[in-house]
Amino acid sequence: MENKLTHFDSNGNAIMVDVSEKNITKRVAIAKGKIYVNNAVMEAVINNKVEKGDVLGVARVAGIMGVKRTSELIPMCHPLMIAKCSVDFDVNEENNYIEVVCTAKVQGKTGVEMEALTGVNVTLLTIYDMCKAIDKTMEISEVHLAKKTGGKSGEFINEK
């Protein structure tokens, strides 16, 4: 399969891809990422003792808002009518990290990978923001597209 950059015209100028001739299909993207925290942050999050409030509840709402506003942040993204978005957490106390999983769904002519990735990043940044008074050394890492379905390229699964 040829990898062709589609966000440039013949003169090398950045453009929004023309999707007008594409078929509408069901498209799903799942992105993941982690934030590594210390014991104090983990305990505060689990026991809902962070001064700013319910960290995971607020972070979930922030992530969903990020998904919905992706086209305002990433210049060449098309505005999409998101059909479904979820943000879930795997809190791993043993290894002191919180994994965020963002799933975005749409019926459309272009994929929702950027929306799912934006949702993960906004969620992780919100966790950081809400907990930074406890510890500023938290680390956000391993953000990646885990899976996508739909569209011309079909299914993609990242074995990571």
The domain limits of the chain are 25-150
Helix (H) or strand (E) holding 149: strand 139-149
Closest CA to 141 of 104, 96, 108: 96
Residue 94, annotated as binding a ligand: no
Q: How sure is the predictor about 6, in pLDDT bands with cuts at 50, 70 and 90?
A: low
CATH class of 25-150: alpha beta
Q: pLDDT at residue 1 above 60?
A: no
Residue 78 assigned as binding residue? yes
Is residue 114 annotated as involved in ligand binding? yes
Phi, psi of 106 (to 5 degrees): -155, 155
pLDDT digits (tens, 9 = 90+) for 102-157: 999 999 999 999 999 999 999 999 999 999 999 999 999 999 999 999 988 889 99
CB 66 within 8 A of CB 144: no
**CB 94: neighbour CB atoms within 10 A?**
6
Q: What is the mean pLDDT of residues 88-96?
A: 98
Task: State the average pLDDT for the chain.
Answer: 93
CA distance 22 to 158: 25
Query: Can you tell me the mean pLDDT for 30-49?
Result: 98
Cβ pair 19, 106 in contact under 8 A: no
Cα dist. 155→33, 68, 89, 105, 108 in Å?
A: 20, 23, 24, 14, 16
Q: Which of the four pLDDT bands, split at 50, 70 and 90, describes residue 2?
A: very low
**Residue predicted with more confidence, 17 or 106:** 106
Are 39 and 96 in contact by the 8 Å Cβ rule? The answer is yes
Structure tokens at 138: 């938290």
Per DSSP, the three-state class of 152 is coil
Neighbours of 154 (CB within 10 A): 9
Tell me the pTM.
0.91
Q: How far apart are CA 130 and CA 6, in angstroms?
A: 38
Q: Single out the catalytic residue among 18, 88, 129, 135.
A: 129
Residue 115 in marked binding region:
yes
Q: What span, in angstroms and rounded, lies between the C-alpha atoms of 60 and 102?
A: 9
- The answer to whether residue 129 is catalytic is yes
Would you place residue 7 in the very low, low, confident or very high pLDDT band (cuts 50, 70, 90)? low
pLDDT for 19: 84
Sequential DSSP letters for 102-153? EEEEEEESS--HHHHHHHHHHHHHHHHHHHTTT-S--EEEEEEEEEEE-STT
**16 annotated ligand-binding residue:** no
